[in-house]
Structure 1
């Protein structure tokens, strides 16, 4: 049996780190799949054994400088809520502390790096611009000061980069730290040798120009880039933090006749929970006494408070706006709606979109290729460059070119391009009540061109309501007709009876006393009111020819006749009604260029009538549940990309067959496992919002990947000196460090733009 586990990873810096960890973990016995997410710093592992010791995972990666720890939240249902929240807080605090440590290093190193950078630019300017004076300090003194500072930078502040070199020499696994380490150490060693051994400089006939300043500035800028990247990445995980913060800390329960306050994770299934005005609900349950209006926006995305009364379901994490009530706990711990949502969002944010496979494959070979290019650049400058420029100048350019390539070719932007956008996109969806199960569903939804809706419970409310009350005899009014019908149906258990009673209640009609109630099998019901026999039944064959009956039945409505003392008093028509938001939802899909189809088992007349009310393009009616998947497959065979929206239970085969399944859900009845996307509250307006979100997310991913690729395609040749033979331009390694820092920050910042995206447009 395959089990999936999520683990935190420490020590990752770039896409090549993720590639190394993936490769090494995949070789561990029992592991069938390992998905490493750089942005969340987590790895999701599928394995065959019942348990997989963390020690076994660490044995596979520790020698490469990485550490793996089990994720919190795998305890029993009663404790998991507390552990998940406290674990998330602990991990966040650890990340905050690591960020503070990075900030302290940057605050120390950056001012020095900036000062050296200014002096370096001054020195370069004085060599080429006559109006710029020479440095006010002798070059020999400047080199000594720079060497002291560079020594500190390389061996103290840049220690992680040196560790990257050691890791590469020991195992052949190269990361971003390896590139930076080799580049800065090469520049430092060369500079130290010609400074400390003047005779060597004279022997090689190289100028007295050193790269201490380059080493200091590159390490300073790389540290700044890493800090800004880490700070930006923390912002991408705010959705999970917000969801966790929704959980109530305490609960008031009734135990042995007394009200006691306990931690919310200690609430047991069946407990009676007391909720006061303004209180946050600790768990899910069913109201047993009282009524209120509850703000469910933080869970469902619905801004208007929901009225709740005895018998209604309530969701943990929502807020009681008015009144007091008690409810019986039904779902606690990891079984609550909020806990399941948190778990779903976490899993989705850690999943990979198919488009990321491109970046992963490139990242796996990127660093070794860069090392080869850097070595080739060095050799070309030494051999070919010496023929035209002389050995000393060629050596200077060879070192600059090699260092520049190693610094500029950081694969961070490539590794962050997809996961940061996925994390922000899925978090944005959760805020709107759109639960996305995995990144693959999010990507596929962006290419959908056809949306198929089930009718009952999706386009319609899923419960019958009275639509028409039509008197047929003189002296009968709609109110009197409804009073007679409701009085008789009050004894019936038929679903249509409930709809008639609801309509009578809505119109404030008082029921009459009845006697001799009977259920007429296959026909209706009968009773006696004020001594007169009353029958509520199906229309007789002759009555079906009445114009009004024909019209109502053509609209797919169910018609019942009310007969008193064998005289037809009138008729009542009932029908499943269209959701108030359905027409606007279909129009929103049309504006996005999508074809909308209704797929239903109802009769064609009813289906066509409903479809006409909301503007649906095509109707496929009278389809058995077992045939729905085949209809979806037929649409796909026409080349369509299909999203199917249904209730997530009886439409399961069709949801599974569709390119993307969208489950409609209400309250605690969430079919999270039935589809790739679940819409809370069953609001079909969110279908269009989901598509907008997926398209926006994929656009950001494509932008990120484009700039990550272009950045390296352009940057590496520039750093190597490709422009020098034509225009005498050579990119200083310092600017390579600036460009490298900027690339990662720009990718993360571009992904964060999704937070401001308006999904209604």
Structure 2
């Protein structure tokens, strides 16, 4: 059994139900001891002896895609987050603009009545085009989940908006099949739903990426460029191309870019980000240094022995990623609820439509359609799947900001019951950094 979990990046998850299905698929792979999926970070941590190919295959059979998690630089993550935010806002804007125009017509009567079938058929075609452009990803995901015999948030959105569009086209093309009092089009409702769901997704994506980047920025202590010694000459190169065995010069005030051994020079190094001790440690030829620590006194030459994710600092970042995927006990309850949430919502929507159809005031068909569609859309379990993961990410970020490295988020839930804290030494309570607390002028003495 492997000691370190395999981290996977999962694509295609849209709600807590997706998390449950991916976890179930991974836990059923032979050799897997445990699997935990984090909806907020879209990652999975798998512990066990199973191969990477078997894990990726299990996720694919569940209707999602996965790749081995590769840590990205903060710049890459911010650019990806900006791109995703702009795309979601663009999709939302297109749908909301179309819905607003149709809503405006309802109040001002700018368009002719529904008896103008050719015109309204064209409007229905344009609405369908906007739905596909702005919400095509919902329909593709819903179809994928349907093929795998499951239902997700995308299924609810697709059912609600698809029903609204089909009913509206039925009223336009074959009005004689619909009671006269129920002959209303719901094109604007479908557009507004797609628009607002996309807007919510944009805000969700932005919040998720900001929380993730904020955590990593706390450990972004290595320089982008370093001074490498090659054949006696110095050259400034990107840290990404540094390899084990390279010799690097680190000047006073610079952070150590790699784990390595000092081969020339003597200096003091601030290792507080690793050890919590504020007092600097003297390092000399043959001494070990770690990436992310601060060189204070003089220039030293270091031979790289570990770079990138293989450094101690890289291991700390990996621990944070693993902690995000750990789950407090309350998350298991949410997962069990979410596994039956979508089918229950569909059943509740059908029951609502039936009650309005048989017992509601006229026009029953319109009320039945609107109420059923409202249940489908409003009950989307986005918040159910996002609340706990986002709480975990924020909690881990605040803890890291205070110098606490949390390895399992279960302790965050248990920490609420702490009433006594025992500390072994004063160094863990003090900063070790002098600061000005008051100022007095010479005239104050007189």
Taking structure 1 as the reference length, the TM-score comes to 0.51
Partner residue, 1:206: 181
| Cα distance change, pair 210–109 in 1 and its aligned pair in 2 (3 A) | closer
2:386 to 416, 426, 430: 416
| Cα distance change, pair 54–98 in 1 and its aligned pair in 2 (3 A) | farther
Q: How much has 1:170 moved relative to structure 2?
A: 2.9
User: 2:108 matched to 1:138?
Assistant: no
User: 2:67 matched to 1:69?
Assistant: yes
1:18-69 deviation digits (Å, cap 9, x = unpaired): 12222233333333322111100011122333554455234422xx3x2111
Q: How much has 1:243 moved relative to structure 2?
A: 5.0
Q: How much has 1:426 moved relative to structure 2?
A: 1.0
Partner residue, 2:131: 154
On the 8 A contact 2:84/2:205 being kept in 1, the answer is: no
Q: How far apart, in 2, do the equivalents of 1:280 and 1:119 lie? A: 62
Q: How much has 1:9 moved relative to structure 2?
A: 0.8
Q: Secondary structure at the match of 2:9?
A: strand
| Cα distance change, pair 291–162 in 1 and its aligned pair in 2 (3 A) | same
On the 8 A contact 1:168/1:174 being kept in 2, the answer is: yes
1:113-159 deviation digits (Å, cap 9, x = unpaired): 33334444x3xxxxxxxxxxx53443436956753442223344332
More deviation, 211-220/414-423: 211-220
Partner residue, 1:108: 94
Alignment gaps of 5+ in structure 2? 432-446
User: 2:35 matched to 1:34?
Assistant: yes
| Cα distance change, pair 212–259 in 1 and its aligned pair in 2 (3 A) | closer
Q: Secondary structure at the match of 1:446?
A: helix
Q: Secondary structure at the match of 2:66?
A: strand
User: 2:244 matched to 1:268?
Assistant: yes
Greater relative contact order: 1 or 2 (C-alpha under 8 angstroms, separation 6 or more)? 2
1:196-238 deviation digits (Å, cap 9, x = unpaired): 113223xx34333221121121111111111121122111111
1:476-505 deviation digits (Å, cap 9, x = unpaired): xxxxxxxxxxxxxxxxxxxxxxxxxxxxxx
Q: How much has 1:249 moved relative to structure 2?
A: 3.8
Q: How much has 1:353 moved relative to structure 2?
A: 1.6
On the 8 A contact 2:263/2:301 being kept in 1, the answer is: yes
Partner residue, 1:707: none
Q: How far apart, in 2, do the equivalents of 1:139 and 1:435 lie? A: 65
1:498-553 deviation digits (Å, cap 9, x = unpaired): xxxxxxxxxxxxxxxxxxxxxxxxxxxxxxxxxxxxxxxxxxxxxxxxxxxxxxxx
| Cα distance change, pair 50–234 in 1 and its aligned pair in 2 (3 A) | closer
Q: How far apart, in 1, do the equivalents of 2:139 and 2:247 lie? A: 61
On the 8 A contact 2:91/2:195 being kept in 1, the answer is: no
Instruction: Flag the structure with higher strand content.
Output: 1
Q: How much has 1:305 moved relative to structure 2?
A: 8.4
On the 8 A contact 2:268/2:282 being kept in 1, the answer is: yes
Q: How far apart, in 2, do the equivalents of 1:164 and 1:255 lie? A: 52
Q: How far apart, in 2, do the equivalents of 1:189 and 1:332 lie? A: 58
Q: How far apart, in 2, do the equivalents of 1:200 and 1:279 lie? A: 77
Q: How far apart, in 2, do the equivalents of 1:118 and 1:411 lie? A: 31
Partner residue, 2:428: 683
Partner residue, 2:434: none
Q: How far apart, in 1, do the equivalents of 2:230 and 2:141 lie? A: 59
Aligned pairs (5 A) from 1:139-538? 139-140=113-114, 146-201=123-178, 204-243=179-218, 245-252=220-227, 264=239, 266-268=242-244, 273-285=248-260, 290=265, 292=267, 306=280, 308=282, 310=284, 314-320=289-295, 323-327=298-302, 332-385=307-360, 389-390=361-362, 393-453=363-423, 458-459=424-425
Q: How far apart, in 1, do the equivalents of 2:32 and 2:284 lie? A: 49
Q: How far apart, in 2, do the equivalents of 1:106 and 1:398 lie? A: 27
Q: Secondary structure at the match of 1:379?
A: helix
Q: Secondary structure at the match of 1:33?
A: strand
| Cα distance change, pair 396–92 in 1 and its aligned pair in 2 (3 A) | same
Larger Rg computed on CA atoms? 1
Q: How far apart, in 2, do the equivalents of 1:99 and 1:394 lie? A: 40
Q: How far apart, in 2, do the equivalents of 1:272 and 1:255 lie? A: 8
Taking structure 2 as the reference length, the TM-score comes to 0.83
Q: How far apart, in 2, do the equivalents of 1:57 and 1:243 lie? A: 34
Aligned pairs (5 A) from 1:501-580? none
Q: How much has 1:279 moved relative to structure 2?
A: 3.0
On the 8 A contact 1:281/1:316 being kept in 2, the answer is: yes
Q: How far apart, in 2, do the equivalents of 1:260 and 1:227 lie? A: 43
Q: How much has 1:100 moved relative to structure 2?
A: 3.2
| Cα distance change, pair 162–249 in 1 and its aligned pair in 2 (3 A) | closer
| Cα distance change, pair 238–296 in 1 and its aligned pair in 2 (3 A) | farther
Partner residue, 2:439: none
Q: How much has 1:428 moved relative to structure 2?
A: 2.4
Q: Secondary structure at the match of 1:355?
A: helix
On the 8 A contact 2:91/2:133 being kept in 1, the answer is: no
1:276-295 deviation digits (Å, cap 9, x = unpaired): 23433112356566555656
1:444-467 deviation digits (Å, cap 9, x = unpaired): 2222233345xxxx32xxxxxxxx
Q: How far apart, in 1, do the equivalents of 2:98 and 2:410 lie? A: 46
On the 8 A contact 1:301/1:431 being kept in 2, the answer is: no
| Cα distance change, pair 57–243 in 1 and its aligned pair in 2 (3 A) | farther
Q: How far apart, in 2, do the equivalents of 1:43 and 1:2 lie? A: 16
| Cα distance change, pair 212–257 in 1 and its aligned pair in 2 (3 A) | closer
Partner residue, 2:22: 21
Q: How far apart, in 1, do the equivalents of 2:308 and 2:159 lie? A: 50
Q: How far apart, in 1, do the equivalents of 2:226 and 2:79 lie? A: 26
Q: How much has 1:404 moved relative to structure 2?
A: 0.1
Q: Secondary structure at the match of 2:405?
A: strand
Q: How much has 1:355 moved relative to structure 2?
A: 1.7
How many pairs does the alignment contain?
425
Q: How much has 1:11 moved relative to structure 2?
A: 1.2
On the 8 A contact 2:105/2:111 being kept in 1, the answer is: no
